[in-house]
Amino acid sequence: MKQKAENRHIVIYAMILGVAYTIFGAAEFTLGIYNLFSPMDNAGLVGVVPADIFGGFAALVVGASYLSAISLLRGTLESWGFILVGMLLSAVFGVIYLLIVCADGFGTLLASLEGEAWTWGWLTSGSAGSGLLRPEIWLFFMSLPLAYLTLRKTERRGLKYA
Amino acid sequence: MAATIPLAMLRENCEAVIVEVRGGMGLTRRLTEMGFTNGTRVKVLHSTPPGPILVMIRGSRIALGRGLAMKIFVNPGEGG
Amino acid sequence: MEKIRVALIGNPNVGKSQIFNNLTGGKAHVGNWPGKTVEKKEGVCVHKGAEMHITDLPGTYSLTAHSIDELIARNYIVEEKPDIVIDIVDASNLERNLYLTLQLLELEANVVIALNKWDVAKDLGYEIDAKELSKLLGVPVVPTIATKKIGMEELKNAVIEAAKIKEKRRGLIFSYGKPFDDIILKIASIVQKDKELLSRYPVRWLAIKLLEADEEVLKLIDKSLCKEEVMRQLSEAKKILGEDIEVALAERRYSTISEALPKILKGARPLTITDLLDKALLNKYIGIPVFLAMWWALFRFAFDVSAPFSDLIDMLFSKLGEIAKMYIGDPKLASFIADGIFSGLGGVLVFLPPIFFLFLGLTILEDSGYLARAAFVVDRAMYKLGLHGKSFIPMLIGFGCNVPGIMATRTIDKEEDRILTILLNPLMSCSARLPIYVLIGSAVLGSYAAAGIYSMYILGIILAILMALLFRRVVPYFRGKPSPLILELPMYAMPSIKSTLIHMWERGSLFLRKAGTIIFLGIIAVWFLSSYPWGSVHQGDKFLLENSYIAILGKYIEPVFRPLGFNWMCAVALFFGFIAKEIVVGTFATLFGLEERSEDLSAALRSNGVFTPLTGLAFMAFSLIYIPCIATVGVIYRETGSWKWTIFAVTYGLILAYVVALTIVTFGRLVGFT
């Protein structure tokens, strides 16, 4: 049935995102722990994956939620909830990291008013680890199509927004 | 006499009808205020022991501590 | 202009504050109910030549005498006799909401029902006959959608219309069944012999309450002439009706509702997004991790996004200070204005951004409905620790600031659970302590600074757990288990921007008023004590802090702290930390004559040998645990209402802090650190 096939596509999409979040989450978490005991100077892998214990943990949670969506294939309707929660968390962190990058930018602006030189460094490093290169931000954008597909599905099924 | 079990032992997605609330005075009263009266239908939405239990009763979702749910006796036979 | 006194009442989560804001335009006067710690909100609404004075009553499920919130609501209606009571009923949850409505009608209040969340009810597939409901209850029913401001005009019109009806409704609304009805009549007829009671209270309601053994009403009867006769009737009634009269009456009310319901409500409830989300959010494996992730997101949001705003405020006040020093001739006045006032104001306002962002995040979490789920998933863990599931929100808030955290314990019903939560709250490392950790961490912990800071938060949590277990076992007052969880989980909803911002503003400004003034005054005190005696401190171009009053004070206290490796500067900083933890950093800055936020301060601490890595860590731990800041102590006193508990909170903190710091230092020395 078209519906079953569509479902399967959505689930695969969620799985891929789930795996991605899990990998990055594990990486951030491990780097974070390592950094704690033998601090590195330029904490981070390739300047993209920051060393972040709690951030890594959070990414793992998103991954877990997306991966749990596999139970959808078994037919339980409520499993859509896992995708929704995964999307929600991915949006929460994606947006927050973006806001932090903006805050860093604002901070650099303030510093430049005080006399320090203006740099663009805040775009790729700062309070959010690797700035705009932070995996969670990209994965959030990649979750948006999934969001669109899922919400369209739930509307069609007559699920009420309540 | 129909078989009655504590609400805490009702499985997820099962419905039942309340037969008796056996709490102390204070607890029974509070539960009654929230709608847990004899003859009322409840449906278990979430139940993962030993955590609290979530039921649908009179159209709203109420979470109950497990100990409390052990004191509410229901008849699953009359459930949906 | 005609003045109409209106009270707003309803179950929790029905949208009462939304309607209050819609009617009053968001402008509220917030205070306290006299003699109580519960918040009282009042506002004004002008409509068609009438001036409505609106009082927001606490949200409750019932009007018994068993909880402060219910008593306040009930007493307001019975004693103050508002012209109109707007009962806000959640249309998507009709059955249980009507329980409160029936009690309002028994109180003979002049009720207008706002049938709110009409849109949600429709989405759920419900069909509600508002006209039939109005007929059955004998009161006007106005369908409303508060979030979209629909039905507000009709509501205001209904209030004005209803206010014109002066005669009270009396008599039977519904039957409790023959045996009950007869006895209620009998008791009522006895009570109305007391002319005073008759004039002040609805007699039938008094009779019902007496049957329920309502403490407050029993007190009323105590002073009455008819007391003996009443008591006689009551013991007769017990023989006929049994012991559990209160429960029986409650059940009768619900039966009445159930019987009438099919005439009013039709429709079924399909699967909703709430069900879907709950499937994941309450899942036994990922429920708690999701909560922890949300918690982390909240803190990232509150601290990192607000950081530049804090910097901005800091910059602003430093600039003002510089300008003051440039243009004011008299050095004493210049110093007072720059280092005292501006520094003081700056010191308070600089941590306002994180507080507001924190409240914003919390409000979104609460209004969306998620916070109740979080209470659900942590309940099990909390119960094992001897805490109530509802204890966790105050703890969570405590990480931002202990003052609102402790105020948030009001939702906990059982007093023992509440006081325990209050006592443990100061162990949640509030945002004011963070600058201390950052300063000392960067001064002496080098690259392990981050680890050191994390460990303070974890230490706080571990200590809270230990103290919870300890108090439950050792302190007689706390013996016994926490009360079980009964919590309604509302449907998820997208919080409206306006009401979220209003909530955030209310909480934030409350904090500002309470804590802000104290901290400001504290900073001025520090300035004074560190600048005087003027002559000895300001010798020529030099700033000799060692000669100031503050130094004298510090050297006096020093011996107490020497075993911990703290010198007189630390002693002084800690002393002022009592006023506000933020001042600890400020004190060190003043002591070295430097700016607070500069790296130079860290360097100064290091080079002057004030701290070693070991003593630095001990100091961080000490400042985490010792006494709560004065604003917190004030709130503890207000919320517990007893000196005993307040002193206990302060003392155990001091003792625990000393013990922990000493342990760190001793253990460290044994292992080989300096």
Q: Where are the domains of chain A?
A: 2-94+136-156
Q: What percent of chain C has pLDDT above 70?
A: 93
Q: Which of B54-58, C468-472, C551-555, C571-575 has the highest mean pLDDT?
A: B54-58
* Phi-psi category of residue B20: left, alpha or beta, with phi > 0 → left and psi -120 to 50 → alpha: beta
Q: CB–CB of C370/C492 below 8 Å? A: yes
Single-letter residue type at A138: W
| Greater pLDDT, C42 or C599 | C42
CATH of residue B35: 2.30.30.90
What range defines the domain where residue B43 resides?
Answer: 5-78
The three state secondary structure string of A17-78 is HHHHHHHHHHHHHHHHHHHHHCCCCCCCECCCECCCHHHHHHHHHHHHHHHHHHHHHHCCHH
DSSP secondary structure letter of residue C610: S
User: From CA C457, how far away is CA C449, in angstroms rounded?
Assistant: 13
Please indicate if any CB of chain B lies within 8 Å of the CB of C288.
Answer: no
The identity of residue C421, as a single letter, is: T
Instruction: Mutation target for C interface from A28, A35, A61: give the one with most C CBs within 10 A.
Output: A61
Closest CA to C558 of C570, C541, C546: C570
Asked whether residue C597 carries a pLDDT value surpassing 60, the answer given is no
Q: What is the pLDDT of residue C144?
A: 93
* pLDDT value for C112: 92
CA distance B23 to B33: 13
Is residue A162's pLDDT more than 50?
Answer: no
Record: contact A162-C312, CB cut-off 8 A: no
Q: pLDDT tier at B79 (50, 70, 90 boundaries)? A: very low
Task: Give the pair of three-digit tokens for residue C92.
Answer: 């998507």
Q: Which CATH architecture has domain C2-163?
A: 3-Layer(aba) Sandwich (3.40)
- Which residues does chain A have within 8 Å of residue C272's beta carbon, measured at their own beta carbons? 159-162
Percent of chain A with pLDDT over 70: 81
pLDDT over 70 for what percent of chain B?
91
| Interface predicted TM-score (ipTM) of this complex, two decimals | 0.91
Whether A103 sits inside 8 A of C124 (CB atoms) is no
Interchain contact, A79 vs C301, CB within 8 Å: no
pLDDT digit string, tens, across residues C328-384: 777 777 777 877 777 777 777 777 888 788 889 888 988 888 988 888 888 877 777
Question: Helices in C336-478 by DSSP H: which ranges?
Answer: 343-349, 352-368, 370-384, 392-398, 402-407, 415-424, 434-440, 449-474
pLDDT category of residue C168 using cuts at 50, 70 and 90 = low
Taking alpha carbons only, the member of C3, C21, C643, C9 closest to residue C367 is C21
- Out of C273, C279, C305, name the one closest to residue A161 (CB): C273
**Longest pairwise C-alpha distance within chain C:** 95
Dump pLDDT digits (tens) for C241-300.
Answer: 777 788 888 888 888 888 888 888 887 776 778 888 888 888 878 888 898 898 888 888
Give the number of domains in chain B: 1
Pairing of the two strands C486-489 and C538-539 = unpaired
Distance (Å) of CA A83 to CA A12, A15, B60, C271, C292? 11, 10, 25, 16, 18
Whole-number CA gyration radius for chain C:
29
Range A77-102 average pLDDT: 87
Is residue C499 over pLDDT 60?
Answer: yes
Instruction: Tell which B residues from 1 to 20 touch C, by Cβ distance under 8 Å.
Output: none
- List the end-to-end C-alpha distance of chain A, in Å, as a whole number: 28
Kindly determine whether residue C489 and residue B46, on different chains, have CB atoms separated by under 8 Å.
no
Mark yes or no for CB contact C244/B28 under 8 Å. yes
C116, pLDDT greater than 80? yes
Q: Looking at residue C598, what DSSP letter applies?
A: S
H or E stretch including C73? Answer: helix C68-75
Q: Which residues of C touch A115 (CB under 8 A)?
A: none
User: In chain C, what are the domain boundaries?
Assistant: 2-163, 178-266, 291-432+449-480+498-509, 522-671
Q: Which residue of B has its CA nearest to C281?
A: B46
Quick one: angle between helices A135-156 and A2-37, nearest 10?
Answer: 150
Class of domain C178-266: mainly alpha
Of B30, B37, B64, the CB nearest to C251: B37
Residue of B nearest to C489 (CA): B61
Tell me the C-alpha distance between A58 and A136, whole Å: 10
C244 touches chain B (CB under 8 A): yes
Is residue C40 a contact partner of residue C55, using CB atoms and an 8 Å limit?
yes
Mean pLDDT for all residues in chain B: 84
- Could you read off the pLDDT of A67-82 as tens digits, one per residue? 888 877 776 776 788 8
Strands B53-57 and C538-539, by their bridges, are unpaired
Chain A residues whose CB is inside 8 A of the C126 CB are none
Q: Can you tell me the distance from the alpha carbon of C388 to that of C447, in angstroms, rounded to the nearest whole number?
A: 39
C9: confidence class by pLDDT, cuts 50, 70, 90: very high
Residue C51: is its pLDDT beyond 80? yes
Is C307 in Cβ contact with A103 (below 8 Å)? yes
